Homo-oligomer: A and B are copies of this chain.
Amino acid sequence: NRDSVILQNLPKNHISHYDLNKLTNSPDALAQQEEVLLLTPMSKFVPEYWNNINALTYDHSLITLGFILPRNTDGEVALKALESSIKDLQSKNKLNYKKIVILRQDSNSLESQKEQDRHALSVQKERRGMMALARNSLVFTALSPDHSWVLWLDADIVETPPTLIQDLTIHNKPVLSANVYQKFINKETNQEEIRPYDFNNWVESDEGLAIAANMADDEIIVEGYSQIATYRPLMAHFYDPNGDVSTEMPLDGVGGGAVLVKADVHRDGAMFPSFPFYHLIETEGFAKMAKRLGYEVFGLPNYLVYHYNE
């Protein structure tokens, strides 16, 4: 890294001297050779996810991949598939990432869950609390002084523009979320259509604040459930197919599907709360924490990435 000074005349290269101030975050990340840490909690290996990241046009030698897999059957299966896909790419001489870090989760995780089950409101506090710990372990273990950016990309994001990293870094925001949609076949027309998937990208509402104010200390609001009517404007609904893809909107909560974070935001301590933080947890709590640390949070309503359809 051009910005780190290794002290001269010291053996074993074991003294590293970093000037965090010289690590840049610029709208022109690729030209500036800024390093990106691409982080994925992975309970399932989805081949389309893997093909999609390998097709990213940001210089792979500037990208470190980091994975954390649960310590359950799903995790075993995913790990094997991930490892063999890595070896496969390598055998074709196409593995050019700077580094790949694979972690096995230390903390608990729930057993395999269908979309319907894992989305039940009753399991959110436990499930998302565990996800929060997994995300924290991953970022705080894999983050190195060289990284300028952290890209959170879920293991079931199967389609993004190949210029994803350039497209997000160019906005030069501390936290920036893409809009996660899902493709499906409309059974009446037999046509492929798209629908909103991730409802965790939202703007706080008076109703949301009022609900929080009347909650017991340890209760949480998770967005996207009709049982908790927050009337928060959801980025998922702001998608305009004819709009400018680079339209930005300020957000108060984010999902974890595809979020770019300046590495300094995590270095300053922004983590994913596994406990209620302003009645929020995990990625939604992370957005609140980034804001408490003085950073702004944005989303791109017209910039779509696609979630796997089970």
Q: Which residues of A contact B (CB under 8 A)?
A: 7, 9-11, 14-21, 23, 71, 83, 86-87, 90, 97-107, 132-133, 136-137, 139-141, 143-145, 264, 266-269, 271-275, 292-293
Contact = CB atoms under 8 A, between A and B. Distances in A.
A140 B143 contact: yes
B104 A21 contact: yes
Nearest to A137: B267
17 contacts: A7-B83, A14-B97, A14-B99, A14-B100, A15-B102, A16-B99, A18-B141, A19-B103, A19-B104, A106-B267, A133-B268, A136-B268, A140-B266, A141-B144, A141-B267, A268-B274, A271-B271
Q: At the interface, is chain A mostly helix, strand, loop or mixed? A: mixed
A14 B23 CA distance: 22
Contacts of A133: 268-269, 293
Nearest to A104: B19
B269 A102 contact: no
Looking at A20, A98, A266, the one whose CB has the most chain B CB atoms below 10 A away is A20
A100 B15 contact: yes
Looking at A14, A90, A141, A145, the one whose CB has the most chain B CB atoms below 10 A away is A141
A52 B94 CA distance: 50
B16 A101 contact: yes
Nearest to A144: B141
A15 to B, nearest CB: 5
Nearest to A267: B137
A20 B105 contact: yes
